[in-house]
Structures are given as structure tokens and as C-alpha cells.
Amino acid sequence: MLISVIIGAVIITLLFISFTSEKIDKFIFALIIGGALGNFYDRLVYKAVPDFIDIHYGNFHWFTFNVADIFISIGVFIFILRSYFIKS
């Protein structure tokens, strides 16, 4: 339950930050917030976040994840690239 409260607070904080951000940052935060809200909803309703995408190749096994995790990862990746390449 404590983790859910912390996640909710982080989502609310990101929402406030996104309102005062530039256009590209709004898009980045939308990806992250959308994925976080999806996982947050699953956590509240189902008491767990179902991960259902499981990738295997030979002996290699990647982490199991879901679509919300993809959006969070893409948002964070773009955020890091933007921070590294675009100085404001």
C-alpha cells in the first residue's frame, strides 16, 4: 500500500511538472505518465501488475514486461537523449 501511495505522488508530481514544460517535454512526460497510470491502475484494481510479454532467444531470456512498461521506457529513453543532446 505504501508503494502505491508513493507511485501516486510521483505521478501527480510529474503531471504538475508537465504543465509547465515545453512541447517536447510534454510529449515525453505524457509517455511516462501514461505508462505509470496503466501500471498504477493495475496495482489498485488487481493488486498486481500483470506482465505478459516474455521474450526468449536460445538461452537468452529477457525480463517479462507489459505495454505500460514499454511506454515508460521509451519516455525515459527520449528524456535522457533530449537531456544529453539538447542543452536548454
Q: The C-alpha cell of 63 is what?
A: 525480463
pTM tops 0.75, yes or no: yes
Distance CA 68, CA 38 (A): 6
Q: pLDDT at position 11, please?
A: 92
Question: Percent of the chain beyond pLDDT 70?
Answer: 99
Q: The C-alpha cell of 49 is what?
A: 501488475
Q: Which residues are catalytic?
A: 51, 69
pLDDT in tens, 42-84: 888 888 787 878 888 888 888 888 888 999 999 999 999 998 8
Q: The C-alpha cell of 43 is what?
A: 496495482
pLDDT in tens, 14-23: 999 999 988 8
Under 8 Å between Cβ of 36 and 6: no
Residues 6+ apart with CB under 8 A from 14: 29, 32, 33, 36
Q: In terms of DSSP H, where are the helices of 20-66?
A: 23-46
